[in-house]
Chains A and B, each alone.
Chain A
Amino acid sequence: MITISHDEIDAGALIRAAQRPEMGALVTFVGTVRDDDGLEAMELEAYEEAAHEELTAIRDEAMERYAIDSVDIVHRIGRLEVGETILVIVVGAGHRKEAFPACEYVIDRLKQTVPIWKKEYRAGDETWVAGEAGSRKE
């Protein structure tokens, strides 16, 4: 499942949905809004059609590179408060040795290529988060 959603993400439900009898490992990454230097809220914006395509491509890359059985990614957009879940990645595999690096690969690639942006709100201040990568020259 690859989803960009305005709704709260239930990590437990995603893990249960991903589970198959042949999986001995379900490695899950949950990214949340951190209380960072007085952060009050965060607004996430996406180029939704392109972001969905990029997430699908990342899933396909991970499936090719690692001996895993599934990759599910749900990324939230809209306004989030501190502590709320931004995204959940669930990687299912026979063994943890493949699932851990595959999960890390997915989040690292997501941060490099998927067209999603964050705006941080603090008292009297709003700032776009500088992208980690993805300038035109890269």
Chain B
Amino acid sequence: MKVRVRAFARFREIFGSEQVIDLPDGAGLDVLLKRFAERREDGRAALFDGEGRLLSHVVLMHNRRRVGDAAVSGTALADGDEVAVFPPVAGG
């Protein structure tokens, strides 16, 4: 299945604005993020701490709905889904 990952602000500068990632059926958000991070030399350090935990200031949306901290590993993905990766918001 193919999942579209969009990155914004500081993460756009690291990863580019959009990537389409091919995943095995049934893969979850945690698998996607690891694949996504591996696509850039400094991608892993931008998203994960030394023990492989997603950094708290990485905000995620799955099909435009925020993904809470507890839901990252349990979020199932489907073909055509859109995931967004961005830092805390600063509009207004």
* Chain A residues with CB under 8 A of B90: 111, 116-118, 128-132
A50 touches B88 (CB 8 A): no
Most chain A CB within 10 A, of B8, B12, B72, is at B8
Per-residue 0/1 for A33-62: is the Cβ within 8 Å of any B Cβ (1 yes, 0 no)?
000000000001111011101000000000
Closest to A131 in B: B88
A-B contact count (CB 8 A): 91
Chain B contact patch, size range:
20 to 34
B56: which of A119, A132, A137 is its contact (CB, 8 Å)?
Answer: A137
User: CA separation between A113 and B66, bound complex, in Å?
Assistant: 10
**Interface of chain B, helix or strand or loop or mixed?**
loop
**Interface of chain A, helix or strand or loop or mixed?**
mixed
Please give 6 more A-B residue pairs, beta carbons under 8 A apart, in addition to A75-B91, A133-B88, A136-B69: A47-B8, A47-B84, A111-B90, A114-B91, A128-B90, A136-B58
Interface residues of B (CB under 8 A from A): 6, 8-10, 12, 54, 56-61, 64, 67-69, 72, 84, 86-92
Interface residues of A (CB under 8 A from B): 31, 44-47, 49-51, 53, 75, 86-87, 107, 110-119, 128-137
